[in-house]
Amino acid sequence: MAQMTITEALAEIKTIGKRITAKRAYVTQYLFRVESMKDPLEKEGGSAKAIKNEFQAITDLEKRIVELRRGIQVANEDTILEIEGVKQSIADWLVWRRDVAPVRSQFLNMLSNSLRNGRDQAKRQGSSLVSIGSTAEKPTDIIVNINEAELAAELEKLTNILGQLDGLLSLKNATIMID
């Protein structure tokens, strides 16, 4: 396999997918015919031969996808990115972005919304939300057991990491060569 960038490999995979779709449609078109009808591919060796050739071509294209994906995976495992002081391979960052970041974001946003709702509810009841470590003025005041500034900073950090990651992935995909 010739060297190419990850971006080029991803584009090729997309093109291969379209080619496979077209070949499958071609096979379906010539899958069967009425005996009395002349084989439209007779001059090329017949429909059966054409279908067999297309199957082989599809198999070859599928193998190419696997080769390209393997090359991308190796490059992603070998390339380390540092974002906000965290060093991981691109492969690990991709897993983190897919499996960890959305759940973490949802959790942090849920905590932030709960605090906002708790503050509104306390206000309606004549109470206050009191930060951890502070002294409540009334016995009905509600103690918040999380540092709200730290929570906001975590949300901002997550947003920054995701933004930096997207930018670095675009850059690396355009510059990292695979075999």
pLDDT of 55-108, one tens digit each? 999 999 999 999 999 999 999 999 999 999 999 999 999 999 999 999 999 999
pLDDT at 1: 56
Average pLDDT over residues 49-57: 97
Check: CB of residue 170 under 8 Å from CB of residue 10: no
CA–CA dist 87, 55 (Å, integer): 44
How high is the pLDDT of residue 59? 98
pLDDT(142) > 90: no
What integer pLDDT is reported at residue 136 of this predicted model?
67
Between 131 and 39, residue with greater pLDDT: 39
| Whole-number Å distance between alpha carbons of 48 and 111 | 63
Structure tokens at 13: 């995979």
The contacts of residue 16 (CB under 8 Å, 6+ apart) are 61, 64, 65
Q: How much is the pLDDT for 111?
A: 96
- Is residue 130 over pLDDT 90? no
The predicted structure's pLDDT at residue 78: 96
Q: For the chain, give the mean pLDDT.
A: 93
Question: How many angstroms separate the CA atoms of 105 and 49, rounded?
Answer: 55
pLDDT at 143: 79
What whole-number distance in Å separates Cα of residue 166 and Cα of residue 179?
A: 23
Mean pLDDT (whole number) for 37-42: 91
Task: Give dist(CA 139, CA 4) in Å, integer.
Answer: 68
- For residues 33 and 139, the model is more confident at 33
Identify any residues that bridge with 130 across adjacent strands, giving them in sequence order.
143
Q: Is the pLDDT of residue 33 over 90?
A: no
